[in-house]
Amino acid sequence: MSCYLLTPTYYRLWLAFSLWLVLGMMPGHGHASQWLSIKKTDDNQLMIDKQSLLEEKPYIKAWVKVDYRNPQKNVESVDRVYNHAKALWYFDCDKRKAATIQVFQYDDEELVYSAGTTSKQADFIEPLPESEVEVAQQYVCKWQAKEKQRIEAAARRAANPVVPAVASNKDKPAAPDSVAEPVAPKAEEKAAEAKPADAKPAAKPAEDKAATAKQAATKTDKGADTLKDKEKAAKPDKTNDKSWAYSGPRGPDKWGSLNPDYAVCNAGSQQSPINIDNTITAALKPIKRLQKFPLKNIVLKDHSLILDAGTGNMMVLDQKPYQLKYISVHVPGEHQIKQKSYAAELQMVHEDKTGHRVIIAVMLEEGSTHAGLEKLLGSLPKEKEQSKPLAIRVTPADLMPTKPAYYRYSGSLTAPPCTEGVQWVIMKEALKISKFQLGSLQQAIGEPNQRPVQDGQGRMILE
**pLDDT tens digits, 324-351:** 999 999 999 999 999 999 999 999 999 9
pLDDT at 405 over 90: yes
Average pLDDT for residues 355-383, to the nearest whole number? 92
**pLDDT interval class at 155 (50, 70, 90):** confident
Average pLDDT over the chain, rounded to an integer: 80
Amino acid letter for position 145: A
Give φ, ψ of 258 to 5 degrees.
-75, -35
Distance CA 302, CA 347 (A): 14
Give the pLDDT confidence score for residue 346 in this predicted structure.
97
pLDDT greater at residue 298 or residue 12: 298
Average pLDDT for residues 178-191, to the nearest whole number? 43
Distance CA 48, CA 64 (A): 4
DSSP summary character for residue 428: S
Distance CA 443, CA 300 (A): 11
Amino acid letter for position 101: I
pLDDT at 193 over 50: no
Q: What Rg, from alpha-carbon coordinates, does the chain have?
A: 33
pLDDT at 255 over 70: yes
Average pLDDT for residues 280-307, to the nearest whole number? 89
Give the pLDDT confidence score for residue 391 in this predicted structure.
79
DSSP summary character for residue 120: T
C-alpha distances out from residue 411 to 25, 195, 264, 294, 327, Å: 48, 90, 12, 28, 18
By the 8 A CB rule, do 246 and 451 touch? yes
Q: What is the pTM of this model?
A: 0.52
pLDDT at 166 over 50: no
Give the pLDDT confidence score for residue 174 in this predicted structure.
39
Instruction: Give the residue from 463, 461, 7, 35 showing the smallest Cα distance to 274.
Output: 461
Give the pLDDT confidence score for residue 77 in this predicted structure.
66
Q: List Cβ neighbours of 238 (8 Å cut-off, separation of 6 or more).
A: none
Amino acid letter for position 299: V
Average pLDDT for residues 6-28, to the nearest whole number? 42
237-251 burial by CB neighbour count: b if 16+ within 10 A, else e? eeeeeeebebeeebe
Distance CA 135, CA 158 (A): 35
Q: Domains, the chain, ranges and CATH?
A: 8-147 (2.40.128.710), 264-445 (3.10.200.10)
